[in-house]
Structure 1
Amino acid sequence: MLGFEDNRPLGEVIPAKQARAIEKYLGITTCGELLRYYPRRYLHYGTGADLSGVQAGDTVTVVGQVLDSVTYPSKKQPKRPITKVDVHDGATLFKVSFFGSNYARRVLQPGRQVMFTGKLDYYRGEPQLQHPDFVLLDGPTEATGALRQLGHFGDIEQMLAGREWLPLYRKKDKLNSWTVMGAIHTVLKTLPRIDEPLGFTPIGLLPLNAAVRQVHEPGPEGPWRAVERLKYDEALSVALAMGVRRMDAAAHSAPELPYKQDGDEAALLERLPFPLTRGQKEVVADITGDMANNTPMSRLLQGEVGSGKTIVSLLAMLQAVDNGAQAALLAPTEVLVMQHARSLTMTLLNAGLPTRVVALTGSMPVAQRQDALLKIVSGEADIVVGTHALLQEGVDFFNLGLVVVDEQHRFGVEQRDTLREKAGETTPHLLVMTATPIPRTIAITVFGDLEVSTLRELPGGRKPIQSAVVPEFKPRWVERAWEKIREEVAAGHQAYVVCPRIDGEGGVLEVAEELSATEYKDLEVGVLHGRMKGEEKDAVMADFAKGGLDVLISTTVIEVGVDVPNATVMMVRESEHFGVSQLHQLRGRVGRGGNASLCLFHTLAEEGTPGFTRVSQVAATSDGFALAELDLLNRGEGDVLGTGQSGIKRTLKLINMVEDYDIVRRAYDDAAHLVKNNPEFARAATADFEAEDFEYLDKS
């Protein structure tokens, strides 16, 4: 990684017992790893503790001045006098109590600067701390309780002398913030000067040597310039890795697949029953130009639900077919694969085109699968639609020219690369698509190796989907929602009911059984969920698509890509259990046929709770890009990027995907310059990055 390395074993620098504890609870074994374990927040003398979101029983740290101190005997235990101290932290007055502590009685005198750590309580609305650990900050001291951990790393008074800012580190099991603080203080004392990784300090930023030290031990001006520099280095590391990926992709040779005036693509454009939107025309022009070159296209197409990405991808696939090449469409679920295969086939048939579409899934019967494989390897299949089964050994293409990946965030970089490698000597062009709008910071971070195209407008005839929140605490509203579904069915339309689970109360099976026996006993009610076999799911979806079912009770397997134009109403049950983007995706399953449509967000959440607020925000806007930013704000980039598996998140410890766009943008501009002018440096700086470090993982 770009920056600095300090591979000294931690046990050679700090006491062995504390080194073992840090390894046990944090998995950290080297000095460099410890220095990248950044404070979660800071205490600044006189500015007050942030008590927002803090509840009684939570442990807090308070830095303030003693205003008053009184000691009096306890009636129950005369030998344990009670010392009560008023402490003001610059914003809040805390009542602090000690029982039988002669040290507290002696040293906690008015005017002293003290740091307290203990469990917060409230009495008559006033914040209280009972017998907290503490340490004096303005003179001779001995720490109490957990704060004694600082003593393992040297003189506490010397360690805290002159500090206006105190770092607080995340407590992990039995490892407290003070142990980490003391260990980092010891490492910093022995840390050699850090050289600039670029050979110079970027304009306007703090030198890296100062930033690494000040992020843990800020001076009077605070830690913010240090944090800014380290954020820049994080973003630059990822940007360089993405730049190298882009450079490497451009070095490969791709088949030249120019637009053919007399080809199937041109014929489909002439015979479509609707005109392309301006945005679709622009994206098609970009893709047409990319595919005509012998440099592999690497393009991300993001678009609102229903913005017409599928027809754009079909035109691109026909451009490949027009040049004698095959196209592969990779989709995340078997339901979506079969949906795509049927939809593409019907579009081509209606246009009178002979293009051959073949589907391949893991659950196909052996004979059907063998037939599909033969058509793929012989070249009889022009367009191949499949799940990850396309990545398996034994799937060989005759002449693969274009790979289209639908719902890109379900697939990793390595999986995409595996499919591209199946083309043999040349690298096929790549188009990845997502209906989950991507916040702009993530777009340039996680997808920095791709050109980004965006479809914002809906095709003509599409009407905005009306949305409403249906709270369980308003029974009449819930009753009206069920009535509305019946009214839509009576008008000749169809409905979805989405449940958060399969079994149990409120699950698909229970809701379907109850509705079939009561409100909708005279309607055709179907069930769809992830435990069903592939052919069962396909049969249900096919039945629903042709109008054989009035109401489909389903889990989120219908979230992506399912296209039934006659469906005009959806009820999402217990919608507080779903994320912002997921609710927006589900809503996009209705309103696809030009009819006025409605999405009802049922919720068990009480008004004013985070869940209720989130659902209300989704209902209030249909702008997927605004909702993507809201999703990031609500859940944080850790969830959006994926946890545990995402190297991006391991690398971006400080970057805030909501607030730090300007820093990330600057880093990416600088990285592009470095990759162009000093590719050897860029490759060396990112040598330890792996492809899986750049996964944009599904959050569900």
Structure 2
Amino acid sequence: MDITSPITGIKGIGEKTQKSFAKMGVYTVGDILLHFPRNYVKFPEITDIDELNSVNESQDYAIHAVIRKAPLVKNTGRMQITLQDIGSPGHMIQLIWYRMPYLKAQLSQGRHLIFYGRIKPKGGKYVMEQPVVYEVEKYEAIRDTLQPVYSITSGITNNLIVKTVKEALANDRLLGDYLPPKIRGAYGFCEYNYAMKQIHFPDDFDALIEARHRLVFDEFFLFIMGMRYQNKKQQKDRNSFLFTEPQFVDELIEKLPYELTNAQKNTIREIENDMQSPYVMQRLIQGDVGSGKTIVAFLLMAWASKCGYQSAIMAPTEVLANQHYETFCSLVEQFGLDCPVILLTGSMTVKQKRMAYERMKTEKNALIIGTHALIQEKADFENLSLVITDEQHRFGVKQRETFSDKGTKPHILVMSATPIPRTLAIIIYGDMDISVINEVPAKRLPIKNCVVNTAYRPKAYSFIEDQVKKGHQAYVICPLVEETENSEGENVTDYAVRLREALPDDIKVDMLNGKMKSKLKDEVMTRFAKNESQVLVSTTVVEVGVNVPNATVMMIENADRFGLAQLHQLRGRVGRGDAQSYCIFINSSNSKKAQKRLEILNKSNDGFYIASEDLKLRGPGDFFGIRQSGDLAFTLADVYQDSDVLKEASEMVDEVLKEDPELALEEHHLLKKKMEQFAKEQLKRMNL
């Protein structure tokens, strides 16, 4: 067995479990080792149920009780619910498990057991939902250790992942350390096997920090090494396109019904200079949410068409591609341009795709819009001069190269809404020049924000109802898809049901999550974009979504569980029309630090400021539960929090490539192999 072996190579993993793991993106032994814990818990002391006098709802308890009677298993229309009462009158707690009927055999009369979880009042009594069950001796054995908590899905329990990871790590030959000893020594890094074992099952907090530091360095080092190694092998491509009459873009700008910001105008000038230079452009546009990147893309693609060339923009979702298509068609008509606009997406019929392919070959000045379908084998371009990829973290260097391989090397423009500080962006996007659009169009009203606790929910529902009655729409974001073991936040599945009950029947509440099939996700988003549904309950999948100017409310449950950059991205889904928009952050934590972090969002709508302030507040103990978004599909690393490690990795890459540009030395053999493997893992995590 090695890291490329299927997950079924691990003892106890059958076909059914394999399918459940596949939902999590875990297919191989290596995948399960890279499925790092999302948090760790240190278990509390055991409390006898008859000695429990008061309850803190934000605290975890380990309750010792004796099973007095058999549990009750109820069958509802949606699931099986297991109920177990423990304790004596005055100290009674009802235990509730969803979709876990097999627990009945474990809850036999007379057994002394430990029930771990949170206690809360519900229906006039205390309940503990989805408690983890331990035998007394086993609980005492783990009491003083840090226990991993993993992200899971239906059919997979935390205990199953623990068991599977331990089985994989038992093979000491599985993980070879690719870092040469001199690099490990220079930076004081622990050995790779040790790091992997400690990240999953740390001996203590110091060992956990040491392991994470090593693995974060690995992610940055391998990413930067892969990028610069490829760059050193490639010569700068000559520009074979003749872009003339830049005043054409100025004429279009003058016809716009609104004024472009200075940042937009400066970015357009920089790109015009690039496209008229002797070499092919490689440029990144960093633009905050709602800063107007799409109109910049259109103006440049229209210029390409005017000069007789094709251009293409690749969006991360079909819904967004369709919206770009409708927007571009409207602008072409508005300006009276003779520019064909072509759409190509994966869900189109065979006939529709064939027609799109034919038009791409014959219409040599077309504006082409699509998804990953644009880089499929059958998609051939004619005269492709400019490629724009939307949302950089969804596309890698390989995808940009695939475009280049389809003809003469085109100009490459990447658009990202992730507000990475410039010093870090230069390292991460080392192969690209950078433009920043840091202003918001003047007509847009600043979003009004509020940070509130869970008691505010009824008022929030009333506010959403009022906004819908005024003709607007609302998003509600939850961190989880469904109720699961160890889940501590709101989930989309149950929340949508609750919201339908709370709101009038004439308000349609729809539901969206990342586990849905692409076609179904697109249908849900299309309904919302057309105002056929008024409230959309969703996970963060809407973070890269369509433009719905009619949406004026963004309500985010368990906001304390998200990174501030991600919250800012989500907030950017509203405030896109002329009406006043609002963002409600529901803080479910009693932590003063969580409140302080969320207050940064409350006071500012500037993504760069938010990222900077967030970085100042965060320390080494903060690296779970607050990962930022849009950071190139790193598993552990965070470009904000780990900025020092990012710089270390960049310096070490320069040293290695200076000594051995081709990575031909024996000591770098494993490094080169690992770099290629890392690139494949990244593409797999991004579903590319």
Query: Shorter-chain TM-score: what band?
Result: 0.5 to 0.7
- Once the 2 structures are TM-superposed, how far is the Cα of residue 338 of structure 1 from its aligned partner? 1.0
Amino acid of the residue matched to residue 467 of structure 2?
E
Contact 1:250 1:295 in 2 (8 A): no
What is the DSSP-based 3-state SS (H/G/I as helix, E as strand, rest coil) of the residue aligned with 1:335? Answer: helix
1:452 matched to 2:437: no
Q: Equivalent residue for 1:304? A: 288
- Farther off after superposition, 311-320 or 324-333: 311-320
| Alignment deviations for residues 401-446 of structure 1 (CA, whole Å, 9 cap, x no partner) | 1111101101222122112211x2x211111111122244542332
Q: Equivalent residue for 2:239? A: 254
CA RMSD across the alignment = 5.6
Contact 1:512 1:525 in 2 (8 A): yes
* Residue 380 to residue 259, structure 1, CA distance change in 2 (3 Å): closer
| Alignment deviations for residues 583-603 of structure 1 (CA, whole Å, 9 cap, x no partner) | 222111111113221011235
Pick the structure with greater CA Rg: 1
Match for residue 480 of structure 1 among 434, 455, 459 = 459
TM-score by length of 2: 0.60
What are the within-5 Å matches in structure 2 for residues 416-565 of structure 1? 416-422=400-406, 424=407, 426-440=408-422, 442-472=424-454, 474=455, 477-501=456-480, 507-508=491-492, 510-529=494-513, 538=522, 540-565=524-549
What is the DSSP-based 3-state SS (H/G/I as helix, E as strand, rest coil) of the residue aligned with 1:484? Answer: helix
Amino acid of the residue matched to residue 340 of structure 1?
H
Contact 1:317 1:327 in 2 (8 A): yes
What is the DSSP-based 3-state SS (H/G/I as helix, E as strand, rest coil) of the residue aligned with 1:454? Answer: strand
1:212 and 1:556 mapped to 2: Cα distance? 35
1:412 matched to 2:396: yes
Q: Equivalent residue for 1:290? A: 274
What is the DSSP-based 3-state SS (H/G/I as helix, E as strand, rest coil) of the residue aligned with 1:251? Answer: coil
Q: Equivalent residue for 1:270? A: 254
1:347 matched to 2:326: no
| Alignment deviations for residues 195-246 of structure 1 (CA, whole Å, 9 cap, x no partner) | 999xxxxxxxx99599999xx9xxxxxxxxxxx9x99999898767645544
Match for residue 590 of structure 1 among 545, 569, 574 = 574
2:457 and 2:221 mapped to 1: Cα distance? 51
* Residue 237 to residue 570, structure 1, CA distance change in 2 (3 Å): closer
| Alignment deviations for residues 323-379 of structure 1 (CA, whole Å, 9 cap, x no partner) | 221111111111111111112222222222232222211111221121112111223
2:187 and 2:590 mapped to 1: Cα distance? 50
2:189 and 2:519 mapped to 1: Cα distance? 58
Contact 1:441 1:657 in 2 (8 A): no
1:298 and 1:500 mapped to 2: Cα distance? 36
* Residue 255 to residue 628, structure 1, CA distance change in 2 (3 Å): farther
Which 5+ residue runs of structure 2 have no aligned equivalent?
Answer: 1-39, 46-139, 145-164, 173-179, 195-212, 485-489
* Residue 282 to residue 619, structure 1, CA distance change in 2 (3 Å): same
* Residue 639 to residue 564, structure 1, CA distance change in 2 (3 Å): closer
What are the within-5 Å matches in structure 2 for residues 221-260 of structure 1? 242-243=227-228, 245-246=230-231, 250-260=235-245
What is the DSSP-based 3-state SS (H/G/I as helix, E as strand, rest coil) of the residue aligned with 1:581? Answer: helix
What are the within-5 Å matches in structure 2 for residues 312-391 of structure 1? 312-379=296-363, 382-391=366-375
Amino acid of the residue matched to residue 384 of structure 2?
L
1:534 and 1:232 mapped to 2: Cα distance? 34
TM-score by length of 1: 0.59
What is the DSSP-based 3-state SS (H/G/I as helix, E as strand, rest coil) of the residue aligned with 1:593? Answer: coil
- Farther off after superposition, 352-361 or 622-631: 622-631
What is the DSSP-based 3-state SS (H/G/I as helix, E as strand, rest coil) of the residue aligned with 1:343? Answer: helix
1:256 and 1:670 mapped to 2: Cα distance? 37
What is the DSSP-based 3-state SS (H/G/I as helix, E as strand, rest coil) of the residue aligned with 2:580? Answer: coil
- Farther off after superposition, 369-378 or 685-694: 685-694
| Alignment deviations for residues 239-279 of structure 1 (CA, whole Å, 9 cap, x no partner) | 6764554455553233334242464x344212111111111
- Once the 2 structures are TM-superposed, how far is the Cα of residue 693 of structure 1 from its aligned partner? 8.5
Q: Equivalent residue for 1:21? A: none
2:457 and 2:433 mapped to 1: Cα distance? 45
What count of residue pairs does the alignment treat as equivalent? 515
1:507 and 1:642 mapped to 2: Cα distance? 22
- Once the 2 structures are TM-superposed, how far is the Cα of residue 563 of structure 1 from its aligned partner? 1.1
1:622 matched to 2:605: yes
- Once the 2 structures are TM-superposed, how far is the Cα of residue 539 of structure 1 from its aligned partner? 5.4
* Residue 437 to residue 370, structure 1, CA distance change in 2 (3 Å): same
2:190 and 2:536 mapped to 1: Cα distance? 57
Contact 1:238 1:445 in 2 (8 A): no
Contact 1:409 1:696 in 2 (8 A): no
- Share of identical aligned residues, percent? 37
Amino acid of the residue matched to residue 590 of structure 2?
E
Contact 1:329 1:406 in 2 (8 A): yes
1:668 and 1:369 mapped to 2: Cα distance? 43
